[in-house]
Structure 1
């Protein structure tokens, strides 16, 4: 074992090696910028950033500042202080644009994720008798499935006919890009919209958003992405790829707290098209004339035109704290480089210790995964949920998805290589315990 392992160094299955990786990790100090949950007086192994990220220590400072402004200034806080509330969402623009690869006018913080998906479909799902199908994945996150199904019904079509599902091949777990594109081409004359995830929530697969967007536009339809599991996890170039719209939440890899305000992207080519239908509100009106109150809607020539109301400032303050924390780490590219190595080490340990007991559903190619690994317990006779319960009792927080998948996500902002090593030891013990129990 060398003192300073290079990014291409061979991994070793030992606690000493994991600690050496942590010692020479340039982002190791970022962990100290987060509150780590405790288990029996020690730091928990928190592998659930794919569901809810941990709280940055600066979050309380940012929120307390806004509470103080409200306390001292009342309504004048809209226009006073270092971060006045009237333009507060603009303080998040730079951070959002860097995370998703957008120009500043294309990103905004507003609403919640599924609400934003609905608002985007109001504008970009315009079905007719010929083109009325929406392409989604067969195992879509339920909220996305419900949103698409309800939009189809709203327009008077039958989801059984107008919802087009793409699924993995028999015996496989993840989607093949060539199959997605083949489906698009086969239904080119019928497709009105493609709505797929950037990262598939169940398997952790990163989809080829550039290729899907190109294929969708060639077929003559609009293309949008749900980036709930992608934003803050993997680098993206939405503007360059020509994506029509995208939406994301901010409480997973963006660590801004449960139920926090979501983000939205609309490509700049749509900003000046006033023929695009939208559900309008006064926060989307031209800022220069918003307070004339003449009831003549004049949309802002940016994604801000899709805003409805002024957003909750305390939630935006938490997002700003998270974006500043990410910036202090060097941004998404620096985080992704560590993520590939961190998750790569976890995969190595799992394959070395538990290859016969656990199937890793998440693709191995660097461009096809982010932080998350989805683990299926495949040992005959074992109850995967019981295994999950055992690792929780031992101080691991991950999450469980039916029928038999444990999702774990070592997040580069606050997780360590040591976490990966200790997790695999706990999982191994839990599998052995469950195996012993099943034999009795």
Structure 2
């Protein structure tokens, strides 16, 4: 009886459409001798309209132009007779889908590979919708452990004993099979991969929370730097406006001094802001790296494959951040002392003007956005280097006027101008 049923099933497979895998409906036969449902073949060839070359879905023989399709009446009658003689067969074969690039293929399909939907951890094989049915129906197979089709199936096999990795050795911190447990891990504390996954899940959450905290700290620090830069710029603008107001009341001989003071303010502003902006970029890059690591850990935590998570968790080491987040920021950037000096210049003569400009040049570089840096070596690489070339030194140059004594070779009252 069973032999007869098997023969009937094989006969029916011969009359299934290779495309939809159902019994042929309105069958047509190509020149190469293969038969398909008319609608299935037309739909398949419609995809090749732009190419102008049509192929057999089964043997890949090409045709050009597109062949005209006619119903195979003899084959249609045979299929109808099969339906009448075997009404108890009920529904058609399951609807399957062909495996495309990136899909897991069924390990049982021999000719046209179908997309696998389940993997069996006992059989260590993947099955399509049709071939998995035996695991649901057979009493001998229904106790096998099924999971969604996984490309990492072979990674779950012990390389030494070729058995399923179904235990986790807590002492040696590795996945092992039953035979490993009996031979090399006697008296060791064991647990299941699922239980170990739960522990890792807690660590994943802790790591994500830590990364989230680090990101928040850096975001706050970037905001702090941004506000400090705005305050610094505002203070510089106030100082520039004050100096310009004072210098506008000086005689024409002071115009050059006014320009030099403004130049020093701008140079100091550029140096400070440039250094802070570099640190802000470094912090924002760390935020980006932390977010990427946070997302990677989130993706790892969503993977259902316990073995894959355990095997790959160790590669996600804790991210080590720099100490830039500990850099202090000055929120009170004032130029009051400098403004006082500038105000004094208004009532001083030319011989005192140069002396006061030197005092200003000494005070301007002391106004910093960053205060009490935790790591000067680390900050130094983000700040401008010390002047080395003549052009760099000239940024800080001033004119000195020296009064020559009467007994010198120069006439009384002559002055020597020296640029330093």
- Scaled to the shorter chain, the TM-score interval is under 0.3
Determine which structure has the larger helix proportion and give its number: 2
Higher relative contact order (CA 8 A, sep 6+): 1
TM-score, with normalisation over the residues of structure 1? 0.20
TM-score, normalised relative to structure 2: 0.20
Which of structures 1 and 2 has the bigger CA Rg? Answer: 2
